[in-house]
Amino acid sequence: MSNIDPILLLSAIIIVSTPILLAAIGELVVERAGVLNLGVEGMMITGAVCGFIAATSTGSPWLGFAGAALGAALLSMVFGVLTQLFLSNQVATGLALTLFGLGLSALLGQGYIGVKGPVVPDLYLPVLRDIPFLGPVLFRHDAMVYIALFIVLGVWLFLNRTRSGRVLRAVGENHDAAHALGYKVVRVRLLAIAFGGACAGLGGAYLSLVRVPQWTEGMTAGAGWIALAIVVFASWRPGRLVLGAWLFGGATALQLALQASGGVQIPIEYLQMAPYLATILVLVILRAGRAPGSLGRSFHASS
């Protein structure tokens, strides 16, 4: 244990948690609007491949992130149209979206396996980066780390401080009442689903452009499912979402560090399981808060 560097570990937690945080904040908005989209994994991996293709063909990682958000948002609209306009079952459609996304990304990424993508530079933050301990842990990362945190802050402000955010929460809480008051339930939900898709796409692209950085089939490896779990863990509140993402990121970074240090004499499969077990344990121990009242229910303006 002694040869694990705490600075490197903490810094790794931030990196590992960023893609989950991005996907989870998108799903949080979707669920607050009353829609359960289980296709996060599929949207993430689609974002990962779209981002990688866009970045390698333009040479710009930023266009890569933009392409990832766009691609995953388009994919999420498949889910949106099916569940909101054709009233298909949200659980089944979401699961189908994950399977579809995994297949689609494998097809799109065929020519890109082993290709090297453009490098995403770390943000140079003068003064801050030189603070002892905190500097290397918090202030020597790429821009997406901070963008992700700003998105979380923005979502919090949106949900709690703006009229549109209040309408979105109202739609998720009681869609019949929101409709009776004259709000466009389906439109609000489609926008939320598109935002959720874009965020999942950014999360996926963070994997293929920053963390790995390469395209590999199935590279999200369940991150989308963890994002879904963290939304519940966070009781649908953005602040706790960050904690949840760091907790999972922490467990992952710790097991990676333990593997690398070679100081622990157990099969590495146990270490690989650890973050997922930790997430499940925390979910069981913590009583989840109250879910949005209309979560997962189809809305049809019939009455």
Partner 1 sequence: MTTPLLELSGLTKAYPGVVANSEVSFDIARGEVHALLGENGAGKSTLVKTIYGLVQPDAGTMRLDGQPFAPPEPRAARAAGVAMVFQHFSLFDAMSVAENVALGMETPPALNRLAAQIREVSQSYGLPLDPDRIVGDLSAGERQRVEIVRCLLQEPRLLIMDEPTSVLTPQEVQILFETLRKLRAEGVSILYISHKLEEIRTICDSATILRHGKVVGKCDPKVTAARDMAEQMVGATLSTPSRAGGRTGEVVLELTGLSAPAPRAFGTALKHIDLSLRAGEVLGIGGVAGNGQDELAMALSGEMSVAPGMIRLKGREIGTVGVNARRRMGLLCAPEERMGHAAAPDMSLTENALLTAGPREDLVRHGFLRWGRARGFAERVIERFDVRTPGAGTAARALSGGNLQKFVIGREIMQRPEVLVVNQPTWGVDAAAAATIRQALLDLAEAGAALIVISQDLDELMEISDRFAALNGGSLSAPRPAEGLGIDEIGMMLGGAHDMTPAHGEG
CA 220, 222, 225, 230 dihedral sign is negative
- Nearest by Cα to 171 from 189, 159, 153, 156: 189
- The minimum distance between CB 178 and partner 1, in angstroms, equals 8
Q: Tell me how far, at minimum, the Cβ of 236 lies from partner 1, in Å.
A: 10
Q: What are phi and psi of 274, to 5 degrees?
A: -55, -50
Element (H, E) at 51: helix 40-58
Q: Cβ 166 to partner 1, closest distance in Å?
A: 6
Q: How far is CA 207 from CA 172, 192, 219, 236, in A?
A: 30, 23, 8, 24
- Give the rounded distance of the alpha carbon of 270 from its chain centre: 25
Cβ-based nearer residue to partner 1, 176 or 217: 176
User: Which CB sits closer to partner 1, 13 or 29?
Assistant: 29
Q: How distant, in Å, are the alpha carbons of 121, 144, 248, 265 from that of 260?
A: 25, 26, 18, 12
CB 45 within 8 A of CB 216: no
Q: Name the nearest CA neighbour of 22 among 220, 283, 287.
A: 220
- Tell me how far apart the alpha carbons of residues 263 and 285 are, in angstroms, rounded to a whole number: 30
What's the closest the beta carbon of residue 163 comes to partner 1, in angstroms? 7
Residue ranges binding partner 1 (CB under 8 A): 163, 166-167, 169-170, 173-174, 176-178, 180-183, 290, 292-293
Nearer to partner 1, 91 or 260 (CB): 91
Cα–Cα dist 218/297, whole Å? 30
Q: How far is the CB of 35 from partner 1 (least distance, A)?
A: 16
Q: Which is nearer to partner 1, 184 or 211 (CB)?
A: 184
- Which C-beta is closer to partner 1: that of 128 or that of 297? 297
Least distance in angstroms from the C-beta of 88 to partner 1: 17
Provide, rounded to whole angstroms, the least separation between the CB of residue 232 and partner 1. 16
Q: Smallest Cα–Cα separation from 101: which of 83, 77, 81, 75?
A: 75
Closer CB to partner 1, 211 or 237, in the complex: 237
Q: Which is nearer to partner 1, 128 or 181 (CB)?
A: 181
